[in-house]
Structure 1
Amino acid sequence: MFEHLQNKLSEALHVFKGQNTITEINIASSLKKIGRALIDADVNHKIVKSFIQRIQEESIGKKVLTSLNPKQLITKIVYDELVSLMGEKNVEINISRNPTIILICGLQGSGKTSFSSKLAFFLKKKNKYPLLVAADTHRPAAIDQLELIAKKVNIPVFSLKESKNVIEIVKKSIIYAYKQNKNVIIIDTAGRLAIDEIMMEEIEKINQYSQPNEVLFVVDAMTGQDAINTAQSFSNVLDFDGVVITKLDGDSRGGVAITMSSVVKKPIKFISNGEKIEDLEVFHPDRIANRILGMGDIVSLVEKVQEQFDEKRTKKIYHKISKNRFDFNDLFEQIQKIKKIGNIKNIISMIPGIDKYFSFDGNQKDSIARIEAIIHSMSPYERSHPQVLTDEKRINRISKGSGVALNHIDLFLKQFHDMNKIMKKIHAHSGKKIVKDFIYQIMNKENNV
């Protein structure tokens, strides 16, 4: 997600490396590259033009503070403009009513059914009691798909397979929710190949009858600008409350996420970035801007980690780090926990500057598998005593056992020791200072490379 844009923006900001001041020449060169990066990311050219103009106005004549260099200042300006473009702040879904009714709509193939299940799972983790309603009477497999996904995570689905009357389905689902003490009703509706009268009549009837607290419009990131045009057309007919962008894991450009709010004038409330039911994120413009600029998203990572990590075990790990006893057994355990959190590439993108510690050749998923193979090929003693892995015979044996090249094993061992040093420094601090110092350290390292 956003890999291509992140790389291009990094190149554009690299123009200021070693520069002491912002001049018309270096800012023009950088802005030209930023504009190309955004257009390559499928951002509308009119929006790009306006975006570049605002950065130029903000940066020309701007006094560079002694605590910043030109690259840091321009990065801050680009960050602010990205946040503004993406809606400025997070807008939460309204779940104040009991039961809360959430209506899901969108075109066929946009990922409505998968998102409905993910949303139900997300709310269940927030101590809500969701009920999924199969109101797609047009697609034969829609009900079966919803039931199959929901069954895996023990979420109930209401359906009337013999009925084609969506109003009857919605009406009886609300009665059922009251009887079963379900406080969130998520209605998965039918999609169409295009916005037509039949589709709009049906969704308007459901909307009018159910009086939902939230109407969410689901768009497929892979369709690019068409997704934005569709959302805009749909909003002219039905006043939905927010947008959900799916399949962002398959689109590294990210132009839809950047452009949607400013064009449609509706907030993005969720993004889906994987096939697993837990691959759903609340959309925070500031956090996404951090990721786009390669500064990570520590807050989102911490939120995800808190859902998976045991507090006692975490304290034990911290103690081992402080005593310099963090070994390959601990690393292997943490990798397994990280894999449970969600898509590896998305998790790694949340950690500023740390992706190199998990990658031999830019492919984090394959690299994680190779790291596991390396650790599996170690003896129990070697896993517990990383310091012994300076012996050539041991490393050759591990290489043969794991099928990983010697140079990659050498790189991994170096990365492990480097990561250990950083983790120890982080542990030496406490509270918010951990994140602040860590990000400051990474950003300074990036700017001085």
Structure 2
Amino acid sequence: MFESLGDRLQGVFDSLRGRGRLTEDEVRAALREVRVALLEADVSLEVARDFTKRVQEKAVGSETLMSLQPDQRVIAIVHDELVELLGGKTAQPSLKNDANVWLLLGLQGAGKTTTAGKLAYKYKAQGRRPLLVAADTQRPAAREQLRVLGKQIGVPVLEVEDHETPARTRARLQEVLRTTYHDLVIVDTAGRLQIDEALMDAVAELKAELSPSETMLVIDAMTGQQSLPVAKTFDERVGVTGLIMTKLDGDARGGAALSARHVTGKPIYFAGMSEKIDGLEAFHPDRIAGRILGMGDVLTLIEKAKALEGDDEADAAATLKDFSLQDMLTQMQKIKRMGSFTEILKMIPGASRLLPPGAEIDEREIARIEAIISSMTERERRQPKLLNASRRKRIAAGSGTSVQDVNRLMKNYEQMKKVMKQLGRRPPGRGLPGRGLGR
């Protein structure tokens, strides 16, 4: 989502790099470009103006301009201000030992129902016992959608009946909680295509009956600045404790996410990063700022990798020593579960610059590699030396590729195998031989 903004800002900072000193005029000129980049990213004029004003006040001081690396000081100031703009410290919804009720609000199409399922999945994995409440009686099939999601993740769903009063909903919920233990209740409320009095009255009455510990507003990041007046109205009429930004993996310009905290005063709790049930991440302002400025997001990458861990050290050592095509396939499948290769590359500091602007890694090439290795017998994967010309021809036919594709894969595999052997021979804490890494 922030790709175009990130490219613009990195271009501005590239013009500052390598200079022995910076003048106030040069800093001001660069910040004018920053303000234009923010406006083009659909950030509100007020937010863009205040942001660049704060950066300028800190950047034009003699301490910055006379430092040995003034460009790095300016970038650091922009990074810190971006973090503040996005909310400062990471904020998460409050959780007691039991009796947690979370109310999800928002307009139709924002992604409330899907988000309810994602929240239940996320917190069930953390040891909670969630209960979903399907209280959206306005949108056709909303209750059916939540029922399907609940079955998929193994979480029970209490469905609100047509024309059921909030008082009746509270009584039914209390009855369920008396007979079955649940320490987190997630309520998917009704929405409208636009704000009206009926919507506000309905959600306000439901909130009064359920007394939720958190009232979260789900905002579609693709709607941009249009979502912010909606957020203010919900907060004024119902009261909002935090925000959830959905579709942050889309191609919107990111203005809503950058402006939301400043305009509403409410923290962003979560970011929806994909349509998958596990595609909900805690919103970390410092990590988002790092991605925007091309600094990567190593912490998120590590967390994703740890979630897929399963091999012990002995297995890892064996893989380094005798790296097979089966190991290559296994590692590729693990990386795919972490997200797209392009997104993973962007999390590695500086790695995004290896790709031309707007370029994407061809995921179809990854699929071709998987198809080729999957067309081999288990023995061939373990012993690649068996792959003579006739076997390669058979594998190409079985995978729908060409012999040239198979040959190219084998050449890449041999290169990877050499790297793995080098890693397996290096002393603990040292980098690749002759590369000076890890020193």
The answer on 1:340 being equivalent to 2:346 is no
The residue identity in structure 2 corresponding to 1:335 is M
Q: 1:58 to 1:113 in 2, by over 3 A?
A: same
Kept after mapping to 1: 8 A contact 2:221/2:252? no
Q: What is the alpha-carbon distance in structure 2 between the residues aligned to residue 16 and residue 4 of structure 1?
A: 19
Residue 243 of structure 2 is matched in structure 1 by 243
Kept after mapping to 2: 8 A contact 1:327/1:385? yes
Q: What is the alpha-carbon distance in structure 2 between the residues aligned to residue 39 and residue 243 of structure 1?
A: 22
Residue 165 of structure 1 is matched in structure 2 by 165
Kept after mapping to 2: 8 A contact 1:245/1:270? yes
Q: 1:260 to 1:153 in 2, by over 3 A?
A: same
Residue 200 of structure 2 is matched in structure 1 by 200
1:2-401 superposed matches below 5 A: 2-60=2-60, 61=62, 62-63=64-65, 69-161=69-161, 164-312=164-312, 316-317=315-316, 320-321=319-320, 323=321, 325-342=322-339, 345-354=342-351, 362-373=360-371, 375=373
Kept after mapping to 1: 8 A contact 2:204/2:238? yes
Q: CA RMSD in A?
A: 3.9
Kept after mapping to 2: 8 A contact 1:4/1:252? no
Question: How far apart are 1:37 and its partner, in Å?
Answer: 2.0
Most deviating of 302-311 and 224-233: 302-311
User: CA offsets per residue over residues 235-282 of structure 1, 9 Å max, x none?
Assistant: 111221100011111234211111100110000001101111100001
Q: What is the alpha-carbon distance in structure 2 between the residues aligned to residue 386 and residue 39 of structure 1?
A: 55
The residue identity in structure 1 corresponding to 2:360 is G
Q: What is the alpha-carbon distance in structure 1 between the residues aligned to residue 154 and residue 223 of structure 2?
A: 32
Most deviating of 6-15 and 108-117: 6-15
1:365-444 superposed matches below 5 A: 365-373=363-371, 375=373, 402=401, 409=408, 413=412, 417=416, 420=419, 424=423
Q: What is the alpha-carbon distance in structure 2 between the residues aligned to residue 166 and residue 126 of structure 1?
A: 30
The residue identity in structure 2 corresponding to 1:333 is T
User: CA offsets per residue over residues 363-413 of structure 1, 9 Å max, x none?
Assistant: 353343244346557897986689999x9999999999645987x959x93
Question: How far apart are 1:13 and its partner, in Å?
Answer: 1.3
Consecutive unaligned residues in structure 2, runs of 5 or more: 432-436
The residue identity in structure 2 corresponding to 1:170 is R
Q: 1:291 to 1:272 in 2, by over 3 A?
A: same
Q: What is the alpha-carbon distance in structure 2 between the residues aligned to residue 121 and residue 45 of structure 1?
A: 38
Q: What is the alpha-carbon distance in structure 2 between the residues aligned to residue 19 and residue 381 of structure 1?
A: 58
Residue 437 of structure 1 is matched in structure 2 by none
Q: 1:296 to 1:364 in 2, by over 3 A?
A: farther
Q: 1:117 to 1:45 in 2, by over 3 A?
A: same
User: CA offsets per residue over residues 51-70 of structure 1, 9 Å max, x none?
Assistant: 1222222222315655xx34
The residue identity in structure 2 corresponding to 1:350 is M
Q: What is the alpha-carbon distance in structure 2 between the residues aligned to residue 290 and residue 49 of structure 1?
A: 21
Question: How far apart are 1:178 and its partner, in Å?
Answer: 3.4
Residue 446 of structure 1 is matched in structure 2 by none
Q: 1:356 to 1:180 in 2, by over 3 A?
A: farther
Kept after mapping to 2: 8 A contact 1:278/1:341? no
Consecutive unaligned residues in structure 1, runs of 5 or more: 435-440, 443-449
How high is the sequence identity, in percent, across the aligned residues? 36
Q: 1:208 to 1:292 in 2, by over 3 A?
A: same
Q: What is the alpha-carbon distance in structure 2 between the residues aligned to residue 282 and residue 399 of structure 1?
A: 43
User: CA offsets per residue over residues 36-93 of structure 1, 9 Å max, x none?
Assistant: 2212211112211221222222222315655xx3443222111101001011011111
The residue identity in structure 2 corresponding to 1:88 is G
Q: What is the alpha-carbon distance in structure 2 between the residues aligned to residue 276 and residue 291 of structure 1?
A: 22
